C-alpha cells in the first residue's frame, strides 16, 4: 500500500485485521463488478466500477485530517507530504 503523498511510502504495516477485512471486501466488490462488465462485454460501461463510494454511510467512525502548510512552496509541500505519509 503506497501512500499517494510525497514522499511515497509503504503503509501496509499500519493495516489492522479489521482494515484488512475491509480491504478484502472492497477488492472482491471491485473484482465482481469488473467480472460483470467483462461478461456483458462492456454494455453497462466501466462507470459502474468508479461510482461514488458509500464509505461514510458504511463506516460511522473515521478520522479526517486537514494538513495545512504556510504557502505553496517546497517546504510546505514537503511538510504536508511528510504528515500525510505518517497517517
Asked whether the predicted pLDDT for residue 87 surpasses 70, the reply is no
Please state, in angstroms and as integers, the Cα–Cα distance from residue 43 to each residue in 8, 20, 71, following that order.
37, 32, 47
**pTM, rounded to two decimals:** 0.59
Q: For residues 51-61, give the mean pLDDT.
A: 81
66: left (phi over 0), alpha (psi -120 to 50) or beta: beta
Residues 39-47, mean pLDDT to the nearest whole number: 83
Do residues 69 and 6 touch, judged by C-beta distance below 8 A? no
Residue reference for cell 493495516: 15
pLDDT attached to residue 30? 92
Amino acid at each position: 500500500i503506497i501512500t499517494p503523498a510525497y514522499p511515497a511510502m509503504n503503509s501496509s504495516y499500519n493495516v489492522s485485521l479489521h482494515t484488512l477485512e475491509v480491504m478484502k471486501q472492497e477488492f472482491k466488490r471491485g473484482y465482481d463488478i469488473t467480472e460483470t462488465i467483462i461478461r456483458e462485454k462492456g454494455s453497462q460501461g466501466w462507470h459502474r466500477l468508479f461510482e461514488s463510494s458509500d464509505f461514510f454511510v458504511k463506516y460511522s467512525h473515521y478520522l479526517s485530517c486537514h494538513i495545512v502548510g504556510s504557502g505553496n512552496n517546497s517546504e510546505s509541500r514537503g511538510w504536508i507530504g511528510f504528515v500525510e505519509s505518517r497517517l
